[in-house]
Amino acid sequence: MEPLLEKIAADREKYNCTVTSLGEAKIASPVRRHDFIREGQRVLMSGDFDLLQAWNEKLGHYPSFERAGAHEKIFHDPSWTRVGIVTAGGLCPGLNNVIKGLVETLHEDYGIRNVFGIRYGYAGLNPAFGYAPMALDVDSVDTIHELGGTILGSSRGQQPTDIIVDTLVRMNINILFCIGGDGSLRCAHEVAEEVLKRGLKISVIGIPKTIDNDLHFVGRSFGFETAVAEAAPVIRSAHVEAKGAHNGIGVVKLMGRDSGFIAAYAAMANPVVNFCLVPEMDFEIEGENGLLRALEKRFAGGKDHAVIVVAEGAGQKFFKGAVEKDASGNVLKQDIGHYLRDTISAHFKAKGIDHTVKYFNPSYTIRSCAARGTDAIRCYMLARNAVHAAMAGRTDCVVGESGELYTLVPIALATIERQHLNLSGAIWRSVTAATSQERLLGPSVPGSEN
């Protein structure tokens, strides 16, 4: 965390924790039988006392976020409120749970009936595409939590900010909920800024969607826990296939463009994994400390199989050529899974060593499934707190989670940079202990890509 503290000290304005408000809340809330939060109530950013002290020494105050929850006084009049909900970016378990939570909270707590689902991401707010909005009510969202994906559809990429705001004005929408990852949230931030520049009273609230768990300051993002759980049967299958042949090798590629949290947690939860490769670490394929030699040493040591879990963004240094980006501005990663499969197979074939390599890529299967267990609960609670924030007149913020409490984080702060695995931290040290990979690969060192 020390490099982050240095950045914060160098640019205090950029690391501002204050959420924007549209104005004074004067309307009595219709919410009943609820413990209202106190105006100005805040939650410390971390339970790490040393971090809090270091922050205070550099900035002169302890880092904290506004606590999310229902307010006794609200800004938007429920009888005049019209709401838009947009899902943008790639699919993720829990999107429909969030939509359901938003609609039901708006309806049951505030009596708001005018709720519109924006079709196919931000493209639905650009009339050039001709996507008609979908009217949403408690009946239409009753069972959508059982389905993967999003009933609204999604798309990548931003649309012109001025056109989006023009559409909101034309539709008389005064609350817009944006469910998306860092790219989609940056678009929401630009919309919120344009709204304020025009002097409009429109709340723009984000619900952070990133299955990779790579957003700062918002706690664990929804979909991540389901992704780790859904990876388990795939890893088990890779293990069975690997053990079913002499010198069998199972390669499983999991999601994680720039951050290896899914791969690390899945490897720790399934200790049959022998090598876990993530974007944060630098590793070699060739050479004495390379992966190929590590596999040879494992087989020579009496083991007759190996399971490798690799995050999609790992090992990008092995690919040459121009960098391409998707419509959301994300760097398109080269296929490390195919590369490992082909390179490992070619290596052992050239050496005349009997082997079998089986490759598994469950990414689309995982991201399109429904949320499960406490992940589904997290989705609903994020949605409820997003509604409370919007009705209180907050804008340009996302809902985060801190323990059992929920917080409001400025979008600009949540998207300021990717969150990465700490290769010296407890999680990664647990992964290397469970896999014993450093005994064959050598110590994990930070990668050049990050």
Which residues are bridge partners to 360 per DSSP? Answer: 252
Has residue 326 got a pLDDT over 70? no
Stated as kind and residue range, the H or E segment containing 203 is strand 203-208
Alpha-carbon distance 49 to 165, whole Å? 42
**Domains along the chain with CATH numbers:** 2-222+371-414 (3.40.50.450), 224-368+423-446 (3.40.50.460)
Q: What pLDDT is attached to residue 303?
A: 92
Q: What is the mean pLDDT of residues 58-75?
A: 89
Report the candidate in 286, 69, 302 with the shortest Cα–Cα distance to residue 294. Answer: 286
Alpha carbon of 356 to those of 274, 292, 352: distances in Å? 16, 14, 12
Q: What pLDDT is attached to residue 106?
A: 98
The catalytic residue positions are 212
Q: What is the mean pLDDT of residues 203-226?
A: 89
Has residue 129 got a pLDDT over 50? yes
Has residue 74 got a pLDDT over 80? yes
Could you write out the DSSP letters of every residue in 77-128? -GGG--EEEEE-SS--TTHHHHHHHHHHHHHHHH----EEEESSGGGGGSGG
Could you write out the DSSP letters of every residue in 147-192? SSS-TT----S---HHHHHHHHHHTT--EEEEEE-HHHHHHHHHHH
Q: What pLDDT is attached to residue 14?
A: 66
Report the candidate in 258, 227, 270, 200 with the shortest Cα–Cα distance to residue 363. Answer: 227
266 vs 183: which has the higher pLDDT? 266
Q: What pLDDT is attached to residue 450?
A: 43
Q: What pLDDT is attached to residue 51?
A: 76
Alpha-carbon distance 59 to 52, whole Å? 10
Has residue 167 got a pLDDT over 70? yes
The answer to which of 41-55, 81-95, 414-428 has the lowest mean pLDDT is: 41-55
Q: What is the DSSP letter of 334?
A: P
Greatest mean pLDDT among 36-45, 90-99, 213-222, 318-327 lies in 90-99
Has residue 1 got a pLDDT over 60? no
> Over the stretch 282-325, which tens digit does the pLDDT of each residue have?
999 999 989 999 999 999 988 999 999 999 999 999 998 767 76
Contact 85, 115 (CB under 8 A): yes
Alpha-carbon distance 119 to 88, whole Å? 9
Q: What pLDDT is attached to residue 447?
A: 78
> Over the stretch 22-41, which tens digit does the pLDDT of each residue have?
999 999 999 987 889 998 89
Alpha carbon of 372 to those of 92, 140, 377: distances in Å? 12, 21, 8
Burial environment of residue 67 by CB neighbours within 10 A (0 to 12, 13 to 18, 19 or more): middle
Q: What percent of the chain has pLDDT over 90?
A: 72
Mean pLDDT of the chain: 91
